[in-house]
Structure 1
């Protein structure tokens, strides 16, 4: 029974990681602060699970979306 719970936890972490990466990519095109923060939060949750690398990629992509928007427009919002 414990193995089933571990597998389910791993799958949810993978889903959160992929959704975080998708939010990070979307942050380059629309609402960068909102989607960038979503990507960073989901990446942090994923990074502290067994899907460590996937979480860090979501964090990096989300932060990059916010930073690129900041440099292109000159303001954070």
Structure 2
């Protein structure tokens, strides 16, 4: 039982890190290479969502999409 709880906790920690990296990639996408970093943020957000970090995943996806839209409309 303890091993299952520890495995679940490790999986959650992993998905949290992926979610935060996706958010950081999305924020950097506003300044450097918006299309590529926006796509990376979206992919990392999807991966974070499959790892049970739903909120961080949606934020990474949203920021990545907004960065790409801003790039297409304003530059």
TM over 0.5: yes
| Richer in helix (by share) | 2
Q: Count residues in correspondence.
A: 73
- Alignment of 1:40 with 2:54, yes or no, is no
User: TM-score with structure 1 length normalisation?
Assistant: 0.90
Runs of 5+ consecutive residues of structure 1 not aligned to the other structure:
none
Query: Moved runs in structure 1, 4+ residues, more than 6 A?
Result: none
Runs of 5+ consecutive residues of structure 2 not aligned to the other structure:
none
1:29 to 28, 31, 39: 31
Q: Distance in 2 between matches of 1:5 and 1:35?
A: 30
CA-atom RMSD in angstroms: 0.8
Per-residue deviation, 1:2: 1.4
User: TM-score with structure 2 length normalisation?
Assistant: 0.92
